[in-house]
Structure 1
Amino acid sequence: MKQFKYNKFLILLIVIGLLASLVIDVERHQVEQQNKSIELVMDYEDLVELAEKEGVQPEAVLAKAKEAGVTSLAVYETTFKKLNVNGKAVAVNGSTILANYQNGGISDAGWRSLVESGQIKGTNVYVTGHHQQTFQEVHEDLVRRLGADRVKELTVSGQRVLEVKANYEELEKMDLGMPTDEMQAVNDAGFYVLARPTNYRQCTRDDIDAFYDRLDGFRVSGIVFSGSQTLGAPDESEYMAEQMLKRDLTLGMIEGVTQLQFFHQDGMLEIAKAMDYKSARLYSIPKDEQKKMKIAEAIDRWGTTDDERNIRFNLVKTFEKPSPGMTLLETNMTYVSGVRDKLEAQGFTMGRAGVFEHFYPSSMVRALVILGVVAAGVLYLTLVIPGMKPRYAYGLLLIIGAVALLPVLMGHGSKIRLVAALVAANVFPAISVLWMLDRIRGRMAAGNAGLVRMIGTGVVALAVCGIMSYVGAAYLSGSLADTEYLLEVNIFRGIKLTFLMPIVLVAIGFLQRFDVFDGKMDDTEGFLEQFKKMLDTPVKVKTLLGLFLVLVAGVVFVARSGHTMGMPVSATELKFRAFLEQAMYARPRTKEFMIGHPAFLLAVMAWFRKWPTMVLFVLVLVATIGQGSMVETFAHMRSPVFMSFARGIGGLVLGAGVGAVCMIFVDLWIKYVAPKLATGKK
């Protein structure tokens, strides 16, 4: 029987690296616990529209929103489309003025004189205003966006008029700067302003200063840019960031539609970096999705979102239809207050959006983590290469360690850290499963053990294996954890690979230990020989069909993981997930408690009952899915480390229960059903 020795020196390095990882993970947990403030935001325009629909004054709706827990109101740049509605400024196409003159619709002598003298151009737009402050702000911004040569001021019957050379349809939608009247109304109602500016074409520092001139004097909590560019892009992002820091403003980074990283805005990452990531993630339930949701479902969504994805700007959109027995205003205020109560019950506070403190662990501590990962990789090689001499292992450790540690010690090594995380996510689950295989080979004799003993042995083995896999999770987090990963500015690129690679690594190790064809631990054959034999084995059509089904299952397995493949989830499963989210601190992953962990217990049963080695092989590979998933959970760095830990524990507990039930059913089948079927065939 082939013997594989667990090199004590390599294990010592792994233990040292584990301690370093835990130091980083504890520090990470403390940083995450200090960031618990949620900024509950609604759009000012939405609340004004809600007041119009309900036939009440906007001030009354704003007061109710404040009472419901809203912290800030998002204020967007004004447009002529909005100004034409509120009457503070009006833009009229020159062709419309000429048509009204022809129809006798112009009674003002000043306008008639302009038309008759040929000064009114049908292709121009004419702007009048009944609110002097708004008119002045519109004038200033039109000059910035179009140039002074395209904006001319006239006086008609003692009133200021702007003649603008522009297409009317485009001008109507053009952003015209932050409206001070709206920001004043927001502050007067007791809210912070969350500014939503757009960028200027060929933006200059003067344009940025003009933007801040509008903001200065108001209570503004942060800035969330609108459109595909940030204000200041592409050349003045650092100046924009400098001015934000000067005013203690928080940058809001809009989460992407796939719930991964961010909506792309040119200049956003440059501003975030220049601000030392004084930034917070923003999320809003899509309107088309919210239409299909009940209030309780939307409230639960916010609870899960803020807990699991480090969202700190909650941009809450209004429901467009009232719930049964409530007015539209009551519906929305019930919704908002429910979100507040839910979050406060989860330990959050309402206020300005929380930001992570500067979190970049010591290079020396990180280097110990990297060294531990290298040791784990070398240890795995010793567990799949029989008779590998220690001097070769130490040589590999020295060479790879030197290459990996130098950049990290110099304060760089971002790519090395990513590779280390990838190795940890794949190697540690494989080592944990191989260690368990070696243990049962050396100490646990196969035989007709009782069901209770098999279940007990399986549960204990699963727990021990899970603990060993958690070592890999600690390493993964310790390799990556810093402010940029917590904000998801950087992400772990390799999640899809971690779904399959641990299975491959375990398969190699298994075939080095077991002969899947005759069930013996043969010293003369290993992975390569058995793999060649598999390739040479004649295949029946039903076997091809089975392999095809396995392939389909594998595609579904990979596609359903992550956020980018778009594999749909059934309504029944969504309800089951919602139940688990309510019942447990963190919802366990289905692939763990429904697939991987039950297969682990069945593999123990397969060993005791002397099932064909090929069956044991398949069960072990499926069991590896659960161990790999436990580690891969920690690759989602935006999720708090304690939540990832709790998610894995929940998966182990549920998985052990499901696995025990499966063992009972299999035992009953073997004892009572299979004999009858065999008798019937005879």
Structure 2
Amino acid sequence: MRNRIFIGIIILSCVVALYAGYGRYTVESGYKNVEITGDLDALKAMADYAGMDTEELISKYKAEGMNSIAVNEVRLKVLQSEGKLSYMTRTDAAALGITSGNLALKRILASAEGFLPDSTVILTGDRSVYEFLAKNLTKRYDGVVYSTDGEYYAIAVNKPIKNLETDGLGFDTRDFELVKASGLIPVARIENYEGLRDRDIDEYINMLKSYGIDQVVFGGDEVLGNEEKIDYAGKRFKEEGIAFGIIELPVDKDYETQEGMSRFAKRAGYNAFKLFSLSEKEMAAYDKIEMADKWYRAVIDRNVRMIYVRPEIRADKPGVYNVNFYGDTIAVFKGYMDDIGEKIGKIVPFKEYHVPRILQVVIGLGVVAGSVMLLDTLIPLSDMMAHLLMVLGTLITIGTLYSRFFDLGVKALALASSVVFPSLAMAYIMRVCEKKQGSFISYTVVNFVKASLISAVGALYIASIMADSKYLLKLDFFRGVKVSFVAPVVYFLVLYFVRYFRKDLNLRDKIAYILNLNVKVWYVVIAVVAAVVAFIYISRTGNNPAVGVSDLELQFRSLLEHTLVARPREKEFLVGYPALILMLGFVYQGFKKEWSFVWGIFASIGQLSLVNTFSHLRAPLGISIERTIYGMVLGIIIGFVYFVVARYILGYLKRKWGVGV
């Protein structure tokens, strides 16, 4: 009766979780289209290197699939590369002024007498460049003086040249006109600066509106707004419906890629899209397929919608080669998108989504019920104690989710789900292994599916209780990955020892029995192999694994990605799921009970990995479901192949050397 009540609570929680999960699926389905976005500064540099007009290069890449261009704010370094100005330190400018007849320079040096020795002096003969810089530098920095003698123009800024030369200094709106004339989508790459005021933010927004621009990515290490202006900037973006990009790093990091992004996104209503860009080093080193595969993987696994292309000139190759290389790479990637039905078009940004608090509480009750049932598998509980723990867990859940510790409560419930339900799945399998019934196929496959469904409850809880815009956009994330990978395996070891190992002995005698056990060599061999596998397994978990992936495995992954799209995880279909089939198969065929312990360790890896798949919240829910189904189907098939091979090898060992199995 008691378990029926707990199972009823879990079923109710699953129904609620399905509802919340469907809301998430709807939001993810509305977040669509992919933009291949070229960086205008990089495209200009590439065109210049190849001796082409920028318009000609843009037209070529548009034909290959590029459909948007990001316009950067003006930078001194870029203007100098284009021959529109020169700049130097005040010290160097003073040396030049001794022999130069440039009266503007001499006046500037006199006005900048108290400036830092490494402050910046800018010289130009272009009046429009001078007027643009004088206006924008004065707006952004203190200590700006400028002068002209009618022919030459000079500006001094009391800021070190190494800091100033790469700062954004406002937009040259002719760049927006160039992009719009090409028929591509213009994206503004806005940079933050100190002293930003409300009216400056409004000026940015008015400029965007005047050019019909509603997509922005932030340059530099910060979002727009500084500490005191982020809220206002986010509010204005929300009011005007301006979508913004959230950078997705090639390697996962547990922190914001740009300072202030979480706060800005919240104020802006999460009207965002994920952006992915390879580093300069990667762009200069990868071949076409490697580069396109990285972009493809970002779309599939990370729900990225903007592929930011900043072509890196390969100086050892001629201009025509460089132009064609990146054009071909874009074409390959577009082909990948066509193959999987992803439209190259203007991004429909993410919409704000939050699960109602009361639904999260109900889901949390399911986690509590599962936790009590799990504890009961190790320490038999009386009805009164079980109910008392359920009530206590309910009060803690409600109290936490309706307090300032809400985020901590959600993450704790998600972590508990990742541990409890894979562990319950293995507890179920151990009970099944006590008595075989039915045919071999039904015994192995049916119980495999039942155990996986128990684990899937934990996956459902994680996918729904954390179905929030900030998690789906990876502004926050699931915590405790390594714990979720280790705890179910540890639970299985404890469960086996407490409940199934030498049932005729009490706990103290069991420990004494193990300490006095005569260990056979083949036990040691299995233990060493298991230890090596465990080391590799733990080392490759988390966002920044200590053990990398081999080239051969990368090729295998690429094959699966392009064949199945939702690539199943190797630890599931090559290790965990087959081990569960082996565990059940060995019991059915009457092998020694100790094999349940050996295969059970690896089988628990498959069950916990099933749940862990759904803790990668940035991956679309549909992809995670497909990935799990593919893994289960392949795992069952491979499991039967392993079983035939293992039975043959163990039979041979028994016949040849009399090794008992």
Calculate the TM-score normalised by the size of structure 2: 0.90
Contact 1:602 1:619 in 2 (8 A): yes
Residue 153 in structure 1 maps to residue 149 in structure 2? no
Aligned to 2:648: 668
Aligned partners of 2:599, 2:172: CA distance in 1, in Å?
64
Q: Does 1:485 align with 2:466?
A: no
What is the alpha-carbon distance in structure 2 between the residues aligned to residue 376 and residue 98 of structure 1?
A: 76
1:656 aligns with 2:649: no
Find the partner of 2:55 among 52, 59, 81: 59
Inter-partner Cα distance in structure 1 for 2:644 and 2:490: 30
Matches of 1:564 and 1:168, distance apart in 2: 36
Q: Indicate if the aligned counterparts of 1:87 and 1:130 stay in contact, CA closer than 8 A.
A: no
5 Å-filtered alignment, 1:86-97, equals 86-91=82-87
Structure 1's 444 and 512: CA in aligned 2 closer, same or farther, altered over 3 A? Answer: farther
Indicate whether 1:338 and 2:332 are aligned.
yes
- For residues 336 and 243 of structure 2, the distance between their equivalents in structure 1, rounded to whole angstroms, comes to 24
Deviations 1:570-603 (A, max 9, x none): 1111111111112223111111111112221221
SS of equivalent residue, structure 2 residue 349: coil
Structure 1 pair 323–299 and aligned structure 2 pair: CA distance change class (3 A): farther
CA contact (8 A) 2:144 2:155 kept: yes
Distance 2:450 2:400 in 1: 35
Give, as a single letter, the amino acid of the residue that structure 1 aligns with 2:236: Q
For 2:311, which of 318, 325, 331 is the aligned residue?
318
Determine if contact 2:571/2:609 at 8 Å carries over to the other structure. yes
Aligned residue for 1:29, secondary structure, equals helix
The residue matched to 2:210 in structure 1 has which SS?
A: coil
- Residues 250-329 of structure 1 aligned to structure 2 (within 5 Å): 250-260=243-253, 263-318=256-311, 320-321=313-314, 327-329=321-323
Cα distance in structure 2, aligned partners of 1:650 and 1:278: 33
* Distance apart, 1:487 and its partner CA: 0.7
Q: 1:249 to 1:532 in 2, by over 3 A?
A: farther
The alignment partner of 2:350 has SS state of coil
What is aligned with 2:533?
Answer: 553
Secondary structure of the corresponding residue to residue 355 of structure 2: coil
Separation of aligned partners in 1, 2:167 and 2:24: 44
Matches of 2:97 and 2:648, distance apart in 1: 94
In the alignment, the residues of structure 1 paired with residue 92 and residue 492 of structure 2 have an alpha-carbon distance, to the nearest angstrom, of: 76
Cα 1:262/1:52, change in 2 over 3 Å: farther
**Higher deviation after alignment, 623-632 or 458-467:** 458-467
Paired letter, 1:392? M
Contact (CA 8 Å) 2:49, 2:319: kept in 1 or not? no
Structure 1's 119 and 412: CA in aligned 2 closer, same or farther, altered over 3 A?
Answer: closer
CA distance in 2, matches of 1:319, 1:667: 55
1:678 to partner: Cα distance: 4.1
Match of 1:235, SS state, is: helix
**Counterparts of 1:426 and 1:167, CA distance in 2:** 53
Q: CA deviation at 1:631?
A: 0.9
Matches within 5 A, 1:131-150: 131-147=126-142, 150=143
8 Å CA contact retained: 1:78, 1:175: yes
Task: Indicate the residue corresponding to 1:508 in structure 2.
Answer: 494
Do the aligned partners of residues 581 and 112 (structure 1) sit closer, same or farther apart at CA in structure 2, a change above 3 Å counting? closer
**In 2, Cα distance between the equivalents of 1:361 and 1:625?**
30
Residue 572 of structure 1, aligned match among 537, 552, 560: 552
CA–CA distance in structure 2, aligned partners of residues 419 and 582 of structure 1: 36
What amino acid is the match of 1:368? V
Cα distance in 1 for residues equivalent to 2:104 and 2:476: 59
Asked if 1:634 is matched to 2:634, the reply is no
Mean alpha-carbon deviation: is it higher for 93-102 or for 56-65? Answer: 93-102
Matches within 5 A, 1:522-601: 522=504, 525=506, 530-531=510-511, 533-534=513-514, 550-601=530-581
- Residue aligning to 1:448: none
How many angstroms apart in 2 are the aligned matches of 1:472 and 1:305? 26
Tell me the CA shift for residue 168 of structure 1: 4.8
Map of 1:171-320 to 2, 5 A cutoff? 171-212=164-205, 215-260=208-253, 263-318=256-311, 320=313
Range with greater deviation from structure 2 (430-439 or 339-348):
339-348
| Counterparts in 2 of 1:38 and 1:611: CA distance versus 1, 3 Å | same
Provide the residue aligned with 2:348 in structure 1. Answer: 354
TM-score, reference length from structure 1: 0.87
C-alpha separation in 1, matches of 2:192 and 2:165: 17
Q: How many residues align?
A: 656
> Which secondary structure does the structure 1 equivalent of 2:191 belong to?
coil
* Change beyond 3 A, Cα 1:619–1:544: closer
Distance in 2 (alpha carbons) for counterparts of 1:164 and 1:307: 46
Contact kept? 2:194, 2:226, Cα under 8 Å:
no
The structural deviation recorded for 1:675 is 1.2
Amino acid in structure 2 at the alignment position of 1:61: L
Q: CA deviation at 1:513?
A: 3.0
Q: Report percent identity of matched pairs.
A: 25
Alignment check: 8 A CA contact 1:39 1:312 kept: yes
Task: Give me the whole-angstrom Cα distance separating, in 2, the residues matched to 1:400 and 1:585.
Answer: 40
Distance 1:151 1:304 in 2: 47
